[in-house]
């Protein structure tokens, strides 16, 4: 990891924290209890992979700052809401997230439900406010809504739920992850690039290939970490997928083949970026980071 990338990443994560704090109503705003819980869910935690992808893709075409900030915050709010709902007793029933009690444990289930609902609405509000070309912004709303919905993230969750205890093929497992985590990662890359200019079909295809590769790599690494790391390192309950009898790349391919797959996917991601030259440096670095991360 270069110093330039490390510095940029730390600055971007800090900026994302500041932006989320600004874009979610203050804890004093009525209803205070809900806003307090929304801030608990979204602030002070997480690797901010999606905002990093937005900002890194924004460098491809010198996208304006205000639009990137909003796109980044919106993707992170969608991600944060999905974690809150995913952790609820009727879904994964998890008590620990980012090293802290999950929202329904810290508050209660009804609050967790509303926190997720309100964060999703807030994501679309933040993205649709501010400066920028209305046509471009409306297209960005479409990309985010598509990625968040029933043929994107929510659809992936539904397939995941229906897959517990089943022997999935590799293709089925891949489809599930392409929706569950891949759709929003892809949207993050596209939103960053779209903040800069109207994309050509060739540019969209290259970014799609990149995003699909890192999205899948991200999940493969997640499965590897879930099988090998401890809860303190992960900030969430380790070994949970195996305990829940969920299909994973590790259970399907084994540990070593999963690690190799992640490296192959990372190479595919690098190749897809050739179209963009040196402007894509931080997207290259993020692909490496995703494969090499330890938590």
CA distances, 130 to each of 21, 26, 35, 49, 127 (Å)? 16, 18, 21, 23, 8
Window of 3-11, 104-112, 194-202, 275-283 that interacts with its own copies by CB under 8 A: 104-112
Report yes or no: 140 and 195 within 8 Å, Cβ to Cβ. yes
184 makes contact with its own copies (CB under 8 A): no
115 CB-near residues (< 8 Å, 6+ apart)? 34, 37, 38, 41, 81, 84, 103, 107
CA distances, 89 to each of 22, 85, 108, 114, 149 (Å)? 30, 9, 11, 15, 21
168 makes contact with its own copies (CB under 8 A): no
Least distance (Å) between residue 277 CB and its own copies? 31
Q: Cα–Cα–Cα angle for 113, 155, 142, nearest 5°? A: 90
182 makes contact with its own copies (CB under 8 A): no
195 CB-near residues (< 8 Å, 6+ apart)? 54, 58, 61, 63, 64, 67, 68, 71, 132, 136, 140
138 makes contact with its own copies (CB under 8 A): yes
Nearer to its own copies, 137 or 259 (CB): 137
Q: Cα–Cα–Cα angle for 254, 257, 262, nearest 5°? A: 120
Give the pair of three-digit tokens for residue 290.
């995703």
157 makes contact with its own copies (CB under 8 A): yes
Nearer to its own copies, 29 or 267 (CB): 29
- Residue of the chain from 22, 65, 129, 230 that contacts its own copies (CB under 8 A): 129
Question: Pattern of binders to its own copies over 54-73, x per CB under 8 A?
Answer: --------------------
Window of 62-70, 143-151, 210-218, 247-255 that interacts with its own copies by CB under 8 A: 143-151
21 makes contact with its own copies (CB under 8 A): no
Nearer to its own copies, 36 or 285 (CB): 36
Residue ranges that bind its own copies, judged by CB under 8 A:
25, 29-31, 33-35, 38, 81-82, 85, 88, 90-91, 108-114, 116-118, 120-122, 124-125, 128-129, 134-135, 137-138, 141-142, 144-146, 148-152, 154-155, 157-159, 161-162, 175
């Amino acid at each position: 990891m270069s110093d330039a990338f490390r510095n940029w990443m730390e600055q971007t994560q800090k900026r994302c924290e500041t932006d989320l704090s600004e874009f979610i109503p203050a804890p004093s705003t009525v209803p205070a209890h809900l806003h307090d819980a929304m801030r608990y869910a979204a602030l002070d935690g997480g690797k901010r992979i999606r905002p990093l992808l937005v900002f890194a893709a924004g460098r491809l075409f010198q996208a304006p700052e205000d639009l990137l900030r909003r796109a980044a915050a919106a993707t992170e709010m969608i991600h944060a809401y999905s974690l809150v709902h995913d952790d609820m007793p009727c879904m994964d029933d998890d008590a620990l997230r980012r090293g802290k009690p999950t929202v329904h444990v810290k508050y209660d289930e009804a609050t967790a439900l509303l926190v997720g609902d309100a964060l999703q609405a807030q994501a679309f509000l933040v993205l649709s406010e501010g400066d920028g070309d209305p046509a471009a912004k409306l297209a960005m709303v479409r990309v985010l809504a598509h990625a968040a919905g029933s043929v994107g993230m929510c659809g992936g969750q539904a397939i995941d739920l229906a897959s517990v205890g089943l022997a999935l093929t590799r293709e089925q497992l891949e489809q599930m992850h392409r929706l569950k985590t891949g759709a929003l990662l892809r949207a993050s890359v596209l939103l960053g690039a779209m903040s800069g200019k109207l994309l050509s079909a060739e540019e969209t295809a290259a970014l799609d290939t990149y995003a699909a590769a890192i999205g899948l790599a991200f999940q493969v690494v997640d499965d590897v970490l879930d099988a090998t790391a401890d809860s303190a390192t992960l900030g969430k309950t380790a070994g949970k997928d195996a305990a829940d009898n969920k299909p994973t790349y590790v259970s399907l391919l084994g540990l070593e083949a999963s690690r190799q797959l992640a490296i192959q996917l990372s190479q595919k991601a690098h190749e897809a970026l050739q179209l963009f030259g040196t402007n894509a440096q931080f997207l290259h670095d993020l692909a490496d980071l995703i494969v090499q991360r330890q938590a």
